[in-house]
Structure 1
Amino acid sequence: MEGIGLAIVSCIVGLFILYIIIETAVRRGINSSMIGQYLEKKYGIKDIRENKKSFLDDDLDKD
């Protein structure tokens, strides 16, 4: 039973890492493509995540 739980956890961790790698590669590929550069220049479209504030920016200890 312990081996099955460890296998499931390692599979989930592996899939999460694979997701991060694929998402980053696709975003960089789109941003560096000619169409991505055209959209950014013409419409001012940038990555949505750049505009989002982190929850750490509203930290109460910052004051």
Structure 2
Amino acid sequence: MSTQVLTTETPIVLPHGWKKEVAETLGIHPNTVKTALKRGINDPTYKHIMKCAKEKYGQKR
């Protein structure tokens, strides 16, 4: 018997309004999302934002 592990991939293009929805999910302001995206991958908030976006909009494979 084999076990298949599902992984979630981030979509290439996120839908319109994704920043606001992710901000509401995380309980932060949309401007915080914008700032974290500008700072890039070294920002800890960026990692939370991308994880939430991946779970919300990603495809299971």
Q: TM-score range by the shorter chain?
A: under 0.3
With the length of structure 2 as denominator, give the TM-score of the two structures: 0.27
Q: Kindly name which structure, 1 or 2, has the bigger radius of gyration based on alpha carbons.
A: 1
Q: Highest relative contact order (Cα 8 Å, sep 6+), 1 or 2?
A: 2
Higher helix fraction (1 or 2): 1
Higher strand fraction (1 or 2): 2
